[in-house]
Chain A
Amino acid sequence: MSAVRCVNLCKTYRQGDQDIKALDHVSIEIDEGDFVCLSAPSGGGKTTLLNAIGGLDIPDSGEVYVAGGRIDNLSKGELADLRLKQIGFVFQAYNLIPVLTARENVEFVMQVQGVPSAERRDKSNAILKEVGLEGLETRRPGEMSGGQQQRVAVARAIASRPALVLADEPTANLDSKTADELMELFTQLNKHHNTTFVIATHDQRVMTYAGRLIRMLDGRIVDDIDQRAA
C-alpha cells in the first residue's frame, strides 16, 4: 500500500499582484518504507508539497492520500488528529518547545496522544539513547547545540512510531558533520523501523542518502530518480 499518494495537486499563492504557482498539477506516489528526498531551489514547491502531505496546508485542487485515506477534505480537527497519530514532523528551525526539557519535548506528542506516564518515560529514554542524547534528557533546548536540538526533534518525530516522517530542511542550520550524523540517523531509523521518510531539501549531500530523489521546479515535478537502482 502507498504511504502517500498525491493526485494532480495545485496550489497558488498571491504575492503582491502576482500569482505564484507553488504546486502545478503534482502527482506522486510514495511506498511504505521509502526514503524520499524532495529537491528544489527556494520557491520550487517542495515545502508546499510537504505541508500538503502533512495536512498543514490544503491544496486548491487535487487529492492527497495518507496511509490509504484521503486527507485534503478533512476538517481542521481531523487533520490535527492525523498529524498527531500518523505523522512525525521535523522542521528546519524552532523545532522544540523552549520551556520543556529534551525528554519532555520527546514526550510531548505521546502526552497529547494520552500515552501513560510510565510508558512515555520508557519510550523517550530509549529513543533519546537511540539518537545519541543519553544524559541530556533534562536539558532545555537553549542548553543544547543545534545538532542536539535536531536530534531531539527527530526523537520526538519517531517516538510514537508514526508511519510517516516529514522533514523540512532538517540540516539547513547544521554544520556538515552534524548534518551527516543526522542523515545517518534517519537512514538507520528508516531501515530498522521501516518508517517512511519524506525530506525536503536543497542540500546535495542529503540527497545522496535518499533511495528516491524527486526534483521539483516552479511547482512541477521535473525528475523522479530511483537512486537504489543507480
Chain B
Amino acid sequence: MHLFGILLRLAWRNLWRNHRRTIIMLGAIGVGVWAMIFMTALTRGMVDQMITDSIGVLPGHVQMHHPDYRDDPSISNRVSISDAALNEKFDDADFEAWASRVRVPAVITSERESRGVTLLGVDPAAERDISFFDYDEVEGRFLESASDQGIVIGKRLAETLETEIGKRIVLMSQDPENDIADRGFRIVGLYSANTKAIEQAYAYIGKTTAQKMLRVDDATTEVVFLGEDYRNVEPVYEAVTSAVDDTVLVQRWFDIDTYLGTMLGVMDGFVLVWVVVIFLALSFGLVNTLVMAVFERVREIGLMLALGMKPASILGQILIESMFLLALGLAVGNFLAWATIVPLQDGIDISVVAEGMEMWGASSMLYPKLYASDMILASGVVLLLGFLASLSPAWRASRYEPVEAITKV
C-alpha cells in the first residue's frame, strides 16, 4: 500500500511530462468516447421511438385475444370474456391504461374508391391513454362515445378515397355467421399519424356501434394493457395471465411483434460492437502513446529497478498512467456526450429523409436517448480494453534489465 502513493505520483506527473502528447491523446479518447455515446444515443432514440410508436399504435404492452385470432383476425375469433366481465376483472387493476376493442378487417368504400382497412370499434374514453394520436388534434372531431354513429379515418386514407369530413362512406365486414355486415357512416374526423402507412390503415368507429353492426352483442376481439415501461412488461403480463384462463391467449408486445423484439436485442449487441470498434481505433493511439512514454523513460525505469523497485511496481506504474489517461479521456468524452445530447433531446428534424425512415417505422423527428447504462457500458469497455492494451508496453517496461536500461542512450 505504501508503494501505491509513489506509483500514483509518478504516473500522474509522467502523464503531464509531455503535455502536448497527452492533450492530443485525451482529445482522441474524448472524441472517440463522445462518438460511442452520441451514436448510441441516436440509435437508442430511433429504436426507442420505433418501438414506442409501434406499441403506441394499438398493440400496447400486453394483449389478450382468442387463441386463433392471430391466425384469423375475424369476428368469429372473439374473446370469450364479455365486456362486462372484463370491466369487473380489470377496472381496479394497477395498469397505466387498458381497453377492449373490436378489431376486424373491413373494406371501406367512398363514392370514388375502395380500400381494405382495419376496423377498430373503440370506447373513446378507455382508448384515450392508449391512442397514438391526441384526440384534440383530430381534424373535425374524434368519437364522443362508444355508441357514436360517426367514423374517424386517417388523412392519407381520406386522400386515397378522395373523400372528406362530412361525406359518407360504407364499411363492410363479416359477422360471426360469415354474412356480410355493412353500414354507412359519416366521416366526423381525420387523424394524423407519424407515418402515412398508419394513416391509411385504421378506421375508428364506436365500440357499441361496431358490435351492433357485426351482430356480436358486447363481445370484443382484443384487449390491450399498458404498463409503465415497454422494457419491463412482466408485471402487467403476470397480472393479466393470473386473472384469465386458457380460453384466451395473453401475449407481450415482443411476442406479437417479433421483429421489434428482436431489434431491441440486436440493438444492444450493435451498441457493444460499435463501442468495441471505436475503441480498437483508439487503442492504436493509446498503445503508441504508452510505448513512446516508456521508450523515453528507459533510463529512469532502469534507475528505479536498480534502486530496488520491483518489476511489478514498474508494471503498475505504467498501467496506472494508462488508467489516468483513459479516465480523463472518459470524463471529457462523457461530458461532451452529455453536453451535445441533452440539448438535442427535444428532437432532431430528419424530415429530409423521413420517407426512407418510415420504412422502418420511424418518424420525421429523432429523439436521442442518453441512458446512464450506455455511458457506463462505453466507459467500462474503454477502461477494460484500455487496461488490456496497456499490458504489453507495461510488461515490456517491467522486463528491462536495470544495467542495460540505465546505460541506454
Contact = CB atoms under 8 A, between A and B. Distances in A.
Interface in A171-217: none
Contact of A112 (B6, B13, B303): B6
B402 A91 contact: no
B6 A99 contact: no
Contacts of B17: 98-99
Nearest to B13: A99
A91 B408 CA distance: 13
Contact of B3 (A76, A80, A112): A112
A98 B403 contact: no
A123 interface: no
B148 to A, nearest CB: 80
A97 interface: yes
Interface of B, helix, strand, loop or mixed by DSSP: helix
Contacts, number: 67
A98 B300 contact: yes
A51 B406 CA distance: 12
Nearest to A94: B299
Interface stretch (B57-65, B163-171, B307-315, B370-378): B307-315
Interface in B1-37: 2-3, 5-6, 9-10, 13-14, 17
Most buried by A among B9, B10, B308, B313: B308
Contacts of B5: 111
Given A51-B403, A56-B403, A114 B299 contact: no
Contacts of A95: 303
B308 to A, nearest CB: 3
Contacts of A54: 306
Contacts of B308: 80-85, 109, 112-113
Nearest to A140: B13
A112 B402 CA distance: 17
Interface string A84-112: 11000101001111111000100011011
A51 B401 CA distance: 12
A57 interface: yes
A112 B300 contact: no
Contacts of A77: 310
A91 B14 contact: no
Contacts of A108: 6, 304, 307
Of the four ranges (under 10, 10 to 19, 20 to 34, 35 or more), the interface on chain A belongs to: 20 to 34
B305 interface: yes
A97 B311 contact: no
A80 B403 CA distance: 13
A83 B13 contact: no
Contact of A83 (B300, B307, B311, B406): B307
Given A97-B300, A100-B10, A109 B402 contact: no
Given A57-B403, A99-B14, A112-B313, A83 B304 contact: no
Contacts of B9: 100, 104
A109 B300 contact: no
A97 B403 contact: no
A102 to B, nearest CB: 14
A149 B10 CA distance: 19
A60 to B, nearest CB: 14
A112 B10 contact: no
A95 B310 CA distance: 18
Contacts of B307: 83-84, 89, 108-109, 112, 156
A104 B12 CA distance: 14
A172 B303 CA distance: 18
Contacts of A104: 9
A83 B313 CA distance: 15
A208 B307 CA distance: 28
Contacts of A56: 306, 402-403
A83 B311 CA distance: 13
Contacts of B304: 97, 108
16 contacts: A51-B403, A57-B403, A81-B308, A91-B303, A94-B300, A95-B303, A97-B300, A98-B300, A99-B10, A100-B10, A100-B13, A104-B9, A109-B308, A111-B2, A112-B309, A113-B308
Interface of B: 2-3, 5-6, 9-10, 13-14, 17, 299-300, 303-311, 313, 402-403, 406
Nearest 5 pairs of A and B residues by beta carbon: A84-B308, A99-B13, A83-B308, A114-B2, A94-B299
